[in-house]
Structure 1
Amino acid sequence: MSIPGLIAPGALSPTADLVAAPGGLRVIGLDLSITSTGVCLPTGATYRIKTRSADADRRLLQIRDALAAELAEHRPHLAVIEDLPTKMHATALKIIGKLHGVVVGALLDADVPYAYVSPATLKQYAADHGNADKARLAAAAYLVAGVEFADDAGGDQCDAWWLRAAGHDHYGQPLFGMPQAQRDRLLKVEWPEVAR
């Protein structure tokens, strides 16, 4: 099944053209991780920003700079970010907190408003189950849009793809059909004003 405005995840290439989504809304989805940040561009293309632990805190700059370049090129109207899990080890929380800080700084520099979606809300929206695993989210993406995610063992690209879809859905420009009960899960999110 072909959905207008969607590019197969993992098909990102330097020559990929910007595909206009319904109504021209441009949303970027971000699943932040210090080792493998999932990105879904406004075109629908997905990829991961992978870093090496040997680079220590320099990884923050690598991710920030890569995202700043995407923001400059694609000029999204909105970024949708997966929020921190409610239960996280203190050591992991420190580094992911730093990462969220540098990414929000890049978004502010680019004048891109952003929304945070909790992992449970994203799973409820995508798969109608707050504890859905990565395989279930990937299967749901395949069912609604026929997309698959290459090289995505951790589900980073899949989560970013669903975050982009959630943004489109909330602003009345859904990329595909979803049950209303699942759409209603997005009412829990604090969505910003978006200028287009």
Structure 2
Amino acid sequence: MTTPRILGLDLSITATGVCLPDGITHTFTTNAKHGDRRIQYIVDHVGAALSEGRDGIGDGVDLVVIEGPVVRSSAAVTIGMVHGAVRLRLLDFDTPYALIPPATLKAYATGKGNADKTAMAIAALKRAGREFADDNQCDAAWLRWAALDALGQPEFSMPAAQRARLAKVAWPEVRRG
């Protein structure tokens, strides 16, 4: 069975965390002085990640997993715009995607739906032996790991109670290869 190629995205207007299908993470940042052009910058970078693997260079992306937006924040409108623009790009590429609510991702990673950034980082170090440059990359990696686990190909073992949290996610059908 081929391992699904999962792209994890922790979307933000200021610093978007990305976990590529090979597990490499990075963060791309935007500058407020560029206004709404920041949204285009994010969409272009997501498009580049989706394009990798087309035309025989690599294997492409089978599924994108996005951390759902926090709707009770002052940035809800802006992050909603980012989410909408990115989802349109995913539709352009005919790439299925899943949304994982922040509390579900935290509960999967740590056992607690209200875990803070430090707890997420400690869980990544404990489970995967990984450290990250920032919390955006850490969240993006957890998104990828959660999807791999939900698709039956976990990178490491997780307690059953934490794995059960993934049942709350609406997982799309994934086409591999």
TM range, normalised to the smaller chain? Answer: over 0.9
What's the CA shift for 1:72?
0.5
Specify every segment of 5 or more residues in structure 1 that has no aligned partner in the other structure, as ranges: 1-21
Letter in 2 for 1:173: Q
Specify every segment of 5 or more residues in structure 2 that has no aligned partner in the other structure, as ranges: 54-59
What's the CA shift for 1:195?
1.0
1:26-41 matched pairs, under 5 angstroms: 26-41=5-20
What's the CA shift for 1:86?
4.2
What's the CA shift for 1:181?
0.7
TM-score (norm 2): 0.93
Distance 1:135 1:71 in 2: 30
Distance 2:142 2:2 in 1: 19
Q: Which residue of 2 aligns with 1:13?
A: none
CA RMSD of aligned residues (A): 1.0
What's the CA shift for 1:23?
2.7
Q: Which residue of 2 aligns with 1:56?
A: 35
Q: Does 1:118 align with 2:101?
A: yes
What percentage of aligned pairs have identical amino acids?
A: 53
Between Structure 1 and Structure 2, how many residues are aligned?
170
Distance 2:101 2:79 in 1: 14
Q: Which residue of 2 aligns with 1:88?
A: 73
Letter in 2 for 1:83: G
Distance 2:146 2:91 in 1: 21
SS at structure 1 position matched to 2:69? coil
Which string of whole-angstrom CA distances, capped at 9 and with x for unpartnered residues, describes residues 23-63 of structure 1? 32100000000000000000101001100000000000001
Distance 1:63 1:84 in 2: 15
Which string of whole-angstrom CA distances, capped at 9 and with x for unpartnered residues, describes residues 54-91 of structure 1? 000000000100110110004210000000124222xx
Distance 2:12 2:27 in 1: 10
- Structure 1 runs (4+) deviating above 6 angstroms are none
Q: Which residue of 2 aligns with 1:109?
A: 92
Q: Does 1:47 align with 2:26?
A: yes
The answer to whether the Cα contact below 8 Å between 2:70 and 2:76 also exists between their aligned partners in 1 is no
Which string of whole-angstrom CA distances, capped at 9 and with x for unpartnered residues, describes residues 111-161 of structure 1? 1100000000000000000110001000000001110002x1xx1110000
What's the CA shift for 1:179?
0.6
Q: Which residue of 1 aligns with 2:111?
A: 128
